[in-house]
Amino acid sequence: MGAVRNNREPLVVITGGLGRVAGVVLPQLRKHYRLRLVDRSAPVASGDEVRQADIGDPDAAYQAFEGADAILHLAANGSPWQTWDSVYAANVRPTQSVLEAAAAHAVPKVVLASSLHVVGEYNRPQYRPVDPRLDPRPCCPYGLGKVVLEALGRTHAARTGASVTCLRLGLTGWPLTERRYLGQWLSDGDAGRLVLAALNARERYGVHFGVSANTRNYWDITSARHELGYRPEDDSELLADRTGPSSGPVCRLFDDSQPSE
């Protein structure tokens, strides 16, 4: 367990707190909040409070969220190649556990990490920039699990009165090595700016795309700008010359019938 900061600062509990996405956003969050990182992995040296717990266990989730002013739920298996059974066990059920614990503690703000895979079937030239208000069309079981996550979040907001924001994250925390990801890149800096904006937003319920201000405007971030106050500063086009061809199939987020980029 790391050092505890000023107790007057709001406490944000982050599930998957030792994971890839958390590592990207922590530097900016530390400037504004006390943080409690919750992860199944063994604690590491950190200036934050770190707890080892499986938030799929309702009792463990309840204990992890004690005293929380906000929850940032990042814990998930992000593989698009999972079966539905795996998605339910690793992603859906833990989200339900998180929201039940959030309700028990009356946590006023919850930010849920969703994914572009929720609407992956719209990643076609005729739909761009994709509107986040379109009905979900997931491209894989992972995306379907995030559809359920968003529905659980909407129900939680309606039943408890908490503010729930779902962020459909693009390529986050990975190196930008392939051209097909230029339209969905979220830089490390913009990821921190987006999460900060989401934590500060008091919308009852919202769903927003999480990408940078990319020249390849495939995903409409107007709602994130206007409703969250998100101000992205980066553009994947500046890195386009460093990218290469696709390494192979992922899921229908990138349909083989699309023109090559």
pLDDT at 235: 98
**8 A C-beta contact, residue 166 and residue 207:** yes
Is the residue at 79 inside a domain? yes
Residue 4 lies in a domain: no
* Domain, as residue range, for 65: 11-242
Indicate the number of domains in the chain: 1
Within a domain: 261:
no
Interacting residues of 224 by C-beta distance below 8 A, sequence separation 6+: 194, 197, 208, 209, 210, 230
Note whether residue 230 is domain-resident.
yes
- The reported pLDDT for the residue numbered 7 is 67
* Catalytic hit among 33, 122, 142, 181: 142
* Domain contains 258: no
CATH of the domain at 77: 3.40.50.720
Residue 128 vs residues 95, 118, 134, 217, 256: alpha-carbon distances, Å: 30, 15, 12, 7, 17
The tokens for 135 are 């009905």
Residue 15's H or E segment, with its range, is strand 11-15
Q: Is the separation of the CB atoms in 166 and 153 below 8 Å?
A: yes
**Is 216 inside any structural domain?**
yes
Question: CA 56, CA 54: separation in Å to the nearest integer?
Answer: 5
d(CA 32, CA 27): 10
For residue 65, is it left (φ>0), alpha (ψ between -120 and 50) or beta?
alpha
Inter-residue contact 198 to 167 (CB < 8 Å)? yes
pTM of the predicted model as reported, rounded to 2 decimal places: 0.95
3-class SS at 172?
A: strand
Asked if residue 80 is part of any domain, the answer here is: yes
Q: What is the distance between the terminal CA atoms of the chain, rounded to a whole angstrom? A: 47
Contact 35, 12 (CB under 8 A): yes
Measured from the Cβ of residue 241, the count of other Cβ atoms closer than 10 Å reads 6
pLDDT < 50 regions, the chain: 1-5, 257-261
| Residue-level pLDDT at 100 | 98
Sequence-ordered list of residues with C-beta below 8 angstroms from that of 180, at least 6 positions apart, any chain: 246, 254, 261
88 as an active site residue: the answer is: no
Residue 50 included in any domain:
yes
3-state DSSP assignment of residue 73: strand
